[in-house]
């Protein structure tokens, strides 16, 4: 199945938005496989620097990971203050500590406006965006995390992230 909603500037992304290759990940901050994928994505971006755009979308597996949804909301709070990627890194680095008090400590560490952060978390200001990510992921055929798409085509990485590199390279070559 293909990605039903292409990446837009509203997505959290790194790399040129007009890159020939766009990699979209649906991820869960509490998922061990997503944590393992994060360094591989960094390597991918370094290897194909300037030629690939990477976007991250939320897909918390709430039935399995009870803290994933609140972690996604915390990341969105940070994103609203232009610190999404820093929070993204902190959440994966501290994957075993994603309770509300931990998320608050990470926000403080990033120097976020804490009154704004607290209000947005309590009022679930960004929950709709997270739920929209979940919905588009589900409609695009994501069933597990991480779920990757290369130029809109789902890329199975169940046999290793090397397949993501290969698909990206093939897309850059136009094959």
Quick one: angle between helices 100-109 and 68-80, nearest 10? Answer: 20
Indicate whether 175 pLDDT > 80: no
Rounded Cα distance, 90 and 85, in Å? 9
137 CB neighbour count, 10 Å cutoff = 24
Rounded Cα distance, 1 and 103, in Å? 34
Task: Please answer whether residues 37 and 27 qualify as being in contact, where contact means their C-beta atoms are separated by less than 8 angstroms.
Answer: yes
Indicate whether 92 pLDDT > 70: yes
Count of positions (residues) in the chain: 175
* Average pLDDT along the chain: 96
Indicate whether 4 pLDDT > 90: yes
Over range 36-46, report the average pLDDT: 95
Q: What is the pTM of this model?
A: 0.96
Indicate whether 99 pLDDT > 70: yes
- DSSP letter for 5, please: S
Q: Which two tokens stand for residue 61?
A: 């597996």
Q: What is the pLDDT of residue 159?
A: 86
Q: How does pLDDT run across 120-155, given as a tens digit for each residue?
A: 999 999 999 999 999 999 999 999 999 999 999 999
**Diameter of the chain by CA atoms?**
50
Over range 39-57, report the average pLDDT: 96
Cis status of the peptide bond prior to 14, with omega within 30 of 0: no
């Amino acid at each position: 199945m293909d990605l039903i909603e292409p990446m837009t500037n509203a997505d959290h992304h790194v790399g040129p938005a007009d890159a020939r290759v766009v990699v979209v990940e649906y991820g869960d901050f509490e998922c061990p496989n997503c944590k393992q994928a994060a360094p591989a994505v960094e390597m991918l971006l370094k290897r194909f620097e300037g030629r690939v755009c990477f976007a991250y979308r939320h897909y918390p597996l709430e039935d399995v990971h009870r803290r994933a949804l609140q972690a996604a909301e915390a990341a969105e709070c940070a994103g609203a203050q232009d610190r999404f990627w820093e929070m993204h890194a902190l959440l994966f680095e501290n994957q075993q500590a994603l309770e509300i008090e931990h998320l608050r400590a990470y926000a403080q560490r990033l120097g976020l406006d804490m009154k704004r952060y607290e209000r947005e978390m309590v009022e679930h200001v960004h929950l709709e965006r997270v739920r929209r990510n979940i919905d588009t992921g589900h409609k695009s055929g994501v069933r597990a995390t991480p779920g990757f798409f290369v130029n809109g085509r789902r890329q199975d990485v169940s046999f290793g992230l090397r397949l993501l590199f290969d698909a990206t390279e093939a897309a850059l070559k136009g094959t």
